[in-house]
Amino acid sequence: MDAYSQIIHHAVEAAGKSVVKIERLDANRKVTGTGSGFFFSSDGYLFTNSHVVHKGSYFNVMLHDGSVYPATLTGEDPDTDIAILKSSAYDFQPAQLGRAEDLQIGQLVIAIGNPMGFQHTVTAGVVSALGRSLRSETGRQIDGLVQTDAALNPGNSGGPLIDYKGEVVGVNTAMIRGAQGLCFAISIDTARMIAAELMKNGKVSRAYLGLSLQQITLVPKLRSGLELKNKSALFVTGVENGSPAGKAGITDGDIVVSFNDTPVETSDALFRQLDRDKIGQFQFIRIIRQNRLVELRITPAEKIAV
């Protein structure tokens, strides 16, 4: 094989045995949907998408060797499209989790899924954008997305997005309707945070601001002129009506650079600060507007899962 093919082959070999097909069953044990998932711990916990398991009564997981095991739902978070299942399976190799904050635009990424039960469907592409906030087909906003041109289909939902080392950098989610050639994954940094909450409490309580964001690189001249430590920041592409961000006066085109005096260069860095302790308590958010730094007071509200 050529060098490029060898990279992909070795990455898939490293992560492939963690990938499973997931069947969602109703109360009558009838299959009502399928998707992909992957083990991330040696004791049987696995990641998938919330929309893959939503409203299911029972679940089965099919491993790389065709064996099938039951699984139970630990919890799901529709706002990030992340769910955690627990299976009694034992002959698998958990995936190694990487760090999405180390991703660079243009970097090689590989999507693995199990669509329609076919083993290890693999597609490759590059990171097209980072820190995206977009609305899913249900109208729910999903934050901290990695955009890639690695082809996905609904059967790939819940499978891993891996780097050249075979480490997971995202959880694939179905294509956004109407966005031809644009595919997305929830960053693994976001997924880790959600997993910790789901495994501890079975649900996620978080503060939210009501912003749609796009990670951008700050030009050196602007950084120097405003004496910023940030190399990147978050461009505001939308503000929800009546949201905490709207009430604080944030508008489209603003650039978020810090939250409570802590620089934020990625969506994950911002979301890590929006824990339950911030709900109902005013905070300070600093933005760039018309090449000037502006500090606003903002009071995060509780994000209610649907």
* Residue 227 CB burial class (10 angstroms; 0-12, 13-18, ≥19): exposed
* Residue of 274, 100, 252, 93 lying closest to 171 (CA atoms): 100
Following DSSP, what letter does each residue of 159-171 receive, concatenated?
A: PEEE-TTS-EEEE
* Residue of 51, 233, 222, 259 lying closest to 130 (CA atoms): 233
Q: Is residue 77 classed as helix, strand or coil in its secondary structure?
A: strand
Q: Which residue has the tokens 């992957």?
A: 38
Q: Nearest 5 degrees, angle CA 234-CA 236-CA 242?
A: 130
Q: Which residue has the tokens 């706002």?
A: 79
Q: Is residue 143 classed as helix, strand or coil in its secondary structure?
A: strand
Does residue 273 contact residue 259 with C-beta atoms inside 8 Å?
yes
Q: Which residues are catalytic?
A: 51, 81, 157
- Residue 303: which H helix or E strand, with range? strand 301-303
Residue 284 amino acid letter: F
